[in-house]
Structure 1
Amino acid sequence: MVQLKANGRGNVLYNLAKGIGTLREDGQESRFPIKRMPMGLIEYSADFFAADNLQSISCPLDYRLWQQTMYSNFGQKWSILHHGPMCRVNSSPQASDIQSDDTRRQCTMNALVNIPAVSERSLRRDFGSSAITITAEIQVAVLDDAAISHPNSWWWLKADGCDINKGLKESVQQKWSGDVDLNDGHLQKQYEAYQKRLDSAKKLGLEDRNKIKDQLQMLLNDLTKDIEFLNSELTNVNNEYSEKLQSRQHKEKEMIKLTWKVKELSDLNENGREIFSQVNLIISKLPTEECDRSVNIPRDLHEIRQKVCTFIKGVVRHQRIAATHLLVFMISNEERHKKPYALPVQCLPYKGLSDAKVRELANEIIHEMVRRGMKVAGFTTDGEWNSLRSKGNTRPLTILQVRSEARAKYSHIKLARLAGMLTPVCDSDGNVTGKVPNLAVSNILLMEILSWKKEGATDQDVFIRLRERTVPPAYRDTVHNWIDGKDETPVEQLRSILAQLEYTYQINAWQAKGVPFKDYVYVPEIHPKAGMEFCEREDDGHILKRIGQSLRQGGPRNLQLERFEEVLHDSKAGLTYTALSGNSHIK
């Protein structure tokens, strides 16, 4: 206390004791958090400066995890600033630095550090021993920890994509980076084949001289395939270059890239043909039976080995697919009481993904979550993959998807076939069927069409009556044509009629299967992997953004805008001023 007062410090010990001893309003936790940072930092700092032997103290887990997070994000610069620019433990020249893990006994009497912390080497060792990997595999360790820490929680799975700089690299240890990897084993197979070819090229003629001819013949076969690939790629790139040049809408940077690619492919093609000729020449020098040791070809083989390795690396570089985006799958506790709100469980570099592939990847993670007893509430994505929110694994999720499928079914059918679906045919027994069978067109409707025709109605009269019947009376003044803003042609009129009949038929069919589309716009399905009701939705921020944009453009009629003002000032709503106004100010 005397030292604190003499140096102008406050009553730190009293305030610390008061913060630890005083409980919060809930009576569960002290005002000063004991179970998390910064308690670990204070504890380790006190132990550090009081210890005569640093081997007798250990870093608390919460402080160590915090250091791992900071080091992984900011690296060595953060570590230097955190420890201090004059970091040392003992003032004697023989004393070791605080960050040395080999020191068995260290005195902190004259230590000069900003904040005591573990060494960089210890942090890197922690990363190396962690169950978290840097591959595209599912991080099962995160799922295990989440399942154990929150056994009764509901979890949301979220997918989000971001852009990354496109580029393929290969380290001196022949490790690849920058490739597309969807965790399907394709990249691993390509890399293994690449390594196998390099190993074969490096061992060419070094193991069994009697097999040199066979090895060279296999090399010729591989070279032939490589040259064919280069010719095909060169043709495609030249065509792309010509098209961009003729369009006059090209960017200079893109044209420069294509020019360099043409140059690289041309040089590789020329080198491949040269190697092919040299290999043929070496084969011609070999005897037809056993290799004659009097023939001196080691020098030629040595030269070929070097050229082939360089050539293989060049060809494979053009066969690899560079990733342009990164897809991150995250899990989030539905309660989300504290950060981090979302935990990454898989990172996939990709170039382009279909909705079906994203669903397949999500189902793999859901399967792993269900195996651990985790309850999965649903899957949320941004605006990239629209069908995920309207079409489930086994059926449509919304009536909007039913309408879309009904419309798509008749979009490309020609007039004669469409008319045949609405043309009644009566057999000898008096049964009425359609000229072109269609389940969506009921026999009752076909009999009604037949009665109209008996009364003298033409086909066009029938189509007009049916078109009017597809729209409820209250909405006939605002009927939407097949293409908005354009009068319907006869074929478009038939498409509108049949699409509406198909929509009604599908709604009734799903209703009979227990899917109440007549009562609800959106009906979640029972997920085949989770075995429970599963919600598919878009990220709330994107929905809110579109709602705000619609409101700024006028919005629906009779909309009570004052209700938005009320919810905007509601602290529990989470609605931001930006979404409604478009301004950067956050309310």
Structure 2
Amino acid sequence: MPIQKGLFWIKVDGTDLKPALQESKKEEWNGDADMSDSTVKVLRAEYEKRAGIVTELSSDKNRTRLQQHLTTTIDHFDADTQWLHKSLGKTIKVYQKKTNSPTTSEESLKEVNWEIVELSNLIEQSKERKETYENMLPLLSPQNPDPAAVNKKHKVQEPDTKRYLTAILKKKRRQPAASHVLVVMVSDEERKKKPYALPVQYVPYHSLGDQWVRDLTTKLKERMVFHGLTVVGTLTDGEFSSLRTQGGTRALHLWQLIHDAREGVSKMQRETLKKYLVQVGVNDDGTPVTEANDPRIPSHVITKLHDIMQELDFSNAIHHIRNDLVPEGYTHLPWRVHVVPESQLDMLRSIVGTYQIRASVEELKQEGVHFSKHLYVPEVDITTGQIHHEREDHNHILKRIAKHTREAGHDDIDVRRFGEAMLSDRTDLGHAALVGLRKQSVRDAEKLVSHAVKNFFVEKGYTAEAEYVKLVADWHEAADGRGLSQEDRRAANLAMKNYILDRWMPWHRDDSDLSKIDINRYF
């Protein structure tokens, strides 16, 4: 197999889909995926069995078989009615919940209301179908059987019965049904020729676990390697965030280590956490002993707390250990946002969680993974044998940045000044882009944070706004990559990293060890 030139990315994106399980004229089923649990296969088998019985009722002349078919069909209607009543009850509860929610859209309410109407109609149809077929049973009595009369009566009912059967099996689709289609594409990194990304697979779904997507792309990587394509990474949208932070064997991002540590200690009670820190003895080598004896907690921290407690009680002593988590001159953030002062439990969680992260970073460093220097460290993919990057599409990120900007989410800038920029004939910033009327428009986001807007801010002397817009615009161009040198791309990305760290870890320019980040600080 010849090696193909160039580098290739896998792109995964989801698009909305009207929830339905449909049968085409070619008798193919579409609208949901059989997620290796045979749900669709079982449903299809039920459909074909019932459809076969309905067809035989029009032609079979054997009294015994006809009686069995009628009895089975009546039992099916009974089961349908019970299932429909349960589904109706659940749907009514969903409707009531949505009605009481002020954020529910009118379209969503209409959809659920229509579902109630359809289920109610099917219940009536099921009861009518059952009654109709029960009235046929006397025609098959052993004393005076008339199979031909049953065939004749059923032929009149057959079209309505098959329409009902199609409708009830649509309702019995996977609950909930597919609401999106996952589009999997392959793209040449240089993107010199349109279409930039070629679709290679479509997967209908309602919800997909990140691991399922990881397994799906593994199969695609195998085929790409087979065809000599060099796979360098996967691009996903915001829905599959853990793909970009948690790899197959370890964390990919420092944020994941923070998340795991916070989640772990948040489940611990005060007395449990104290056992990690309070010295209860000393080893032969002089190192302190605690009840928990977690090697991730440094000995000097336990010793310092023990020494302070010779003069202060635990409640006061723990404040000194808490303050040591950030460099002198900086203030740590509370465990819970805006909850100041911290409770003793929250301080303990911050202390234990911080040292657990620092220990995790040190352990990974021994494996050649340096989270002390890098926020993100990709894995070597076991399928390709190459470093594999997991990234979010930069256009998705840009749209979120634009939304955050419009909503005045950035404290350093005055969002009202973008309104002034809209009035200038040199910015190309229109009202729709300013207020975000087209939420999915990348072009509008680009107009909001463009170099033209930056130039306007420079002329007006709006320094903070000009620096912010330039930073985002440069980063967006660097992420796209086309037309820029690697040096220019690196400079723009480094500027964005420093901008983030200036707020996430303000002391990073004096001490660049990222393991010393404040785990309670969000950016």
TM-score where L is the length of structure 2: 0.68
Match of 2:484 in 1: 573
Match of 2:43 in 1: 190
Residues 1:162 and 2:10 aligned together: no
Residues 1:199 and 2:55 aligned together: no
| 8 Å CA contact retained: 1:180, 1:349 | yes
Match of 1:339 in 2: 194
Q: Per the alignment, in what secondary structure is the counterpart of residue 330 of structure 2?
A: helix
Deviation, structure 1 residue 463: 1.7
Deviation, structure 1 residue 503: 0.6
Candidates 278, 290, 297, aligned match of 1:441:
297
Match of 2:331 in 1: 478
Q: Per the alignment, in what secondary structure is the counterpart of residue 199 of structure 2?
A: strand
Deviation, structure 1 residue 508: 1.4
The Cα RMSD (Å) is: 4.1
Match of 1:222 in 2: 76
Deviation, structure 1 residue 500: 0.3
Deviates more, 1:400-409 or 1:269-278: 269-278
Match of 1:32 in 2: none
Match of 1:422 in 2: 277
Query: CA separation in 1, counterparts of 2:122 and 2:346?
Result: 54
Residues 1:394 and 2:249 aligned together: yes
Residues 1:491 and 2:345 aligned together: yes
Query: CA separation in 1, counterparts of 2:338 and 2:483?
Result: 43
Match of 1:553 in 2: 413
Deviation, structure 1 residue 496: 0.9
| 8 Å CA contact retained: 1:210, 1:291 | no
* Counterpart AA for 1:393: G
Alignment of 1:81-96 (within 5 A): none
Deviation, structure 1 residue 272: 1.8
| 8 Å CA contact retained: 1:202, 1:309 | no
Residues 1:468 and 2:287 aligned together: no
- List alignment gaps of at least 5 residues for structure 1: 1-146, 577-587
Query: CA separation in 1, counterparts of 2:399 and 2:122?
Result: 50
| 8 Å CA contact retained: 2:412, 2:464 | no
Match of 1:181 in 2: 33
Candidates 228, 231, 249, aligned match of 2:85:
231
| 8 Å CA contact retained: 1:422, 1:441 | yes
Candidates 528, 531, 540, aligned match of 2:382:
528
| 8 Å CA contact retained: 2:70, 2:133 | yes
Change (3 A) 1:368 1:206: same
Deviations 1:74-130 (CA, angstroms, capped at 9, x unpaired): xxxxxxxxxxxxxxxxxxxxxxxxxxxxxxxxxxxxxxxxxxxxxxxxxxxxxxxxx
Match of 1:360 in 2: 215
Match of 1:314 in 2: 167
* Counterpart AA for 1:318: K
| 8 Å CA contact retained: 1:234, 1:265 | yes
- List alignment gaps of at least 5 residues for structure 2: 415-462, 490-523
Q: Per the alignment, in what secondary structure is the counterpart of residue 156 of structure 1?
A: strand
Count of residues in correspondence between the two structures: 424
Candidates 117, 132, 135, aligned match of 1:263:
117
Change (3 A) 1:264 1:165: closer
* Counterpart AA for 1:385: F
Deviation, structure 1 residue 214: 3.6
Q: Per the alignment, in what secondary structure is the counterpart of residue 13 of structure 2?
A: strand
| 8 Å CA contact retained: 2:237, 2:393 | yes
> Which structure has the higher relative contact order (CA within 8 Å, separation 6+)?
2
Deviations 1:487-534 (CA, angstroms, capped at 9, x unpaired): 122221111111101111211121223322223222110113222211
Match of 1:349 in 2: 204
Candidates 240, 243, 260, aligned match of 1:405:
260
Residues 1:510 and 2:364 aligned together: yes
| 8 Å CA contact retained: 1:164, 1:325 | yes
Query: CA separation in 2, counterparts of 1:294 and 1:561?
Result: 84
Deviation, structure 1 residue 451: 4.3
TM-score where L is the length of structure 1: 0.62
Change (3 A) 1:367 1:218: farther
Residues 1:330 and 2:185 aligned together: yes
Query: CA separation in 1, counterparts of 2:471 and 2:123?
Result: 69
| 8 Å CA contact retained: 1:170, 1:176 | yes
| 8 Å CA contact retained: 2:58, 2:152 | no
Deviations 1:427-456 (CA, angstroms, capped at 9, x unpaired): 999985443464533556445544443x24
Match of 2:432 in 1: none
